[in-house]
Structure 1
Amino acid sequence: MINKAKKLSKVIEFTNLDNSATIEEMKAFFDKAKEYGFYSVVVLPHYVKLAKEELKDTDIKVVTVVDFPLGAGNTEGKIAESKKAIADGADEIDMMANIPAIKNHDFESVKNDIKSVKEAIGDKVLKVIIENTLLTVDEKAGASRMCEDGGADYVKTSSGFNGNEDFYALMESLRIMKKNAPHLEMKAAGGINNYKLASNVMAAGVTKIGTSSGTIIMDQLNHVLENQKISPNQKTGPRLI
């Protein structure tokens, strides 16, 4: 049971991208990340240094976002933003893909944009957000292929700032991403706010979940595990699962 909870905590990238959050609110957020032992925190570039300082005695990684949430900046700006974030202590970068280029089916530009940033950050992990909520099926497929061809480490579903896909649309998006970027890992974000949904996206091949609801998801799982401990012959667990 403990292993199941620990395994889930290391999938969750605990996220706070609230641009009105204060230092004290961020410190409280980092305390929660430490309490639950999440894989990483995802913060705005402004708070990367603070995150690195607050988490220095842990194995929790610091992730930040680039060209977020519009995905309409130029490559040079993304490179500069990424390098600065890494200098400030970021371990991983979640970068918006070039959304206008995707919508114009200019996939070569999308690939070159990703490739340039990946080359600039070297062995740091690069996750590319393709913003599925704005894309057609063909655009999702093309963008996913460019993530792989451009050398990204992950293809990520969305920013969460342009609405969220419903369950069936999300599952279909993950299928398209996996088919077209078979060698990349997948990160799901945007509305992953309960254990049942987290479990479903992991079953679909997701290896990282970006969510501001990490503590809720973990509490729901722990509730299920506690019930199973009390009733070991229970086969299915509460309806939560």
Structure 2
Amino acid sequence: MDVVYFYITRRIVMLNKIIDHTILKADASKDDVLKVVAEAKKYEFYSVMVNPCWVSMVHQELADTEIKTATVIGFPLGATTITAKKAEMQTAINDGADELDIVWNIGKFKSKDVEYIKKELDILVNVAHENDKLIKVIIETALLTEDELKKASILVMNSGADFIKTSTGFATRGATIDDIKIIKEIVGDNIAIKASGGIHSAEFANELVRLGATRIGTSSSVKIVTQ
């Protein structure tokens, strides 16, 4: 198997081991999802990221591997209620999800309703951690100003979430170099960073990792690790 290696602070990182191999398109069929699962097994990706309806099947398909089952919550707009997100999380957990990537309420954040955001994060982080699951918070950097991005990074860092994640891949753009630079400057090593959306080359993934991303979300995983 060919894999891409990156050097980070004198450590060798196998890129495949930090990739969430992703299929979230609306028209993804059962065969499409199974193809992604097969690719994850072949290239030993960190996880398979799917919409919630596929979690149970993917969990069963990955049962004999170390590959994680990951899913999205409140995707892709983040505009559902806290109660709905909590229920969606619990269902995904019951179906076998190991990791949950939640879209926070972008509209509430843009409205400067910090108390709502803190409440949402507190409830959802608790659900994940009470069930020994990892939680990533998608802030959708494409829709934020630089000042908002800094404030968002602080809120997620202080929430106890495991990761701050840049993008859904469904907005006007995905992760950028500047996004990762700004987030890393704010959070340091206090929370992990997942870069996602628009990552289609090993060169770009390499640069995002060099700047501080410790997880990559992409549907171009095979292309990246075999370039």
Q: Give the alignment's TM-score, normalised by structure 1.
A: 0.86
- Whole-angstrom distance in 2 between the partners of 1:148 and 1:171: 20
Q: Does 1:80 align with 2:87?
A: yes
Report Cα offsets for 1:48-80 as digits up to 9, x if no partner: 011011111110000000000001111111111
Aligned length, in residue pairs:
217
Q: Does 1:163 align with 2:168?
A: no
State the match for 1:209 in structure 2.
216
State the match for 1:130 in structure 2.
139
Deviation at 1:185, TM superposition (A): 0.4
Given candidates 50, 55, 77, the residue that maps to 1:48 is 55
Structure 1, unpaired ranges of 5+: 221-241
- Whole-angstrom distance in 2 between the partners of 1:36 and 1:23: 20
What pairs with 1:96-107 in structure 2 (closer than 5 Å)? Answer: 96-107=103-114
What pairs with 1:91-240 in structure 2 (closer than 5 Å)? Answer: 91-122=98-129, 123-165=132-174, 170-182=176-188, 183-220=190-227
The one-letter amino acid paired with 1:133 is: A
Query: Greater Rg, structure 1 or structure 2?
Result: 1
Identity %: 39
- Whole-angstrom distance in 2 between the partners of 1:165 and 1:10: 21
Deviation at 1:129, TM superposition (A): 0.4
Contact 1:147 1:181 in 2 (8 A): no
Aligned-partner SS, 2:214:
strand
Contact 1:187 1:209 in 2 (8 A): yes
Deviation at 1:114, TM superposition (A): 1.0
The one-letter amino acid paired with 2:164 is: V
Runs of 4+ off more than 6 Å = none
The one-letter amino acid paired with 1:175 is: K
Structure 2, unpaired ranges of 5+: 7-12
Deviation at 1:165, TM superposition (A): 4.9
- Whole-angstrom distance in 2 between the partners of 1:179 and 1:164: 21
Q: Give the alignment's TM-score, normalised by structure 2.
A: 0.91
